[in-house]
Structure 1
Amino acid sequence: MQVGDTQKWERTFTEDDVRLFGRVSRDMGTHHILPDEQGRVMVHGLLTATLPTKIGGELNFIAHDMSFEFVRPVFVGDTVRCEVTITQLEKIENRLKMSAAVFCRNQQGKVVLTGHTTGIIREPQILSVGLH
């Protein structure tokens, strides 16, 4: 693992995803339940923001902060591809401090979410990877 490495994850959001997230988050806004004039149901912004957390989980990344900009809406049936690119890695004692940039794009390649995160990785087996 080194600065510049990019991890990718893609998923298509379903009505069940939106319904379940609404129940868990208690966000039952009508735009997440009823179709708009074009027949589309909007996915919760924070549900879209779970894409980079999946990648973080694979790295055993413990977030200290995360910031997102929701650039355009995502609708049920949209496929969103998330890219998380490492922008900083610094070894501190028994862990890595990591920063990363986040970009999520829909199936048309349009950016739907951007963001940034910082945090740590505590797993000793990866501490030596990419740090020279």
Structure 2
Amino acid sequence: MSNESSFEFLKIAPNEPHITLDKYGRIRLSAKALEKIGIDSAFTPWVAVAYDKASKTFAIQKEELATTAPADAKTKVDRKNYLHIRQTLRDCGIDVPDEYVRYFYAGAVSVKGERFHAFRLDED
């Protein structure tokens, strides 16, 4: 028997800031996404959320920095870092996936003249 095996090393993706949309219509913010947005996990803040259908991109910002966002565009981040927005997604015509999909950090974007953090759909 040879000492060689058929094992191959896995390519493990780096822990990049991302959000995950699951089949329950929840968005989960990764620890790196919380850090990028500036959310301290010691408390549960409110955030404003925007979506661009053409680029399949969510934009998220802390409530106190999103002064132009209407009240119905804001939601609370729960203690497990989820945004519960299933009905909002449906109302906006955004498909809730059968499993889960990830959106990776795509940099800063301007939403109504304010700086938001963009997360674009990972289509790979």
Q: Same fold (TM over 0.5)?
A: no
Larger helix proportion, structure 1 or 2? 1
- Per the normalisation by structure 2, the TM-score is 0.29
- Per the normalisation by structure 1, the TM-score is 0.28
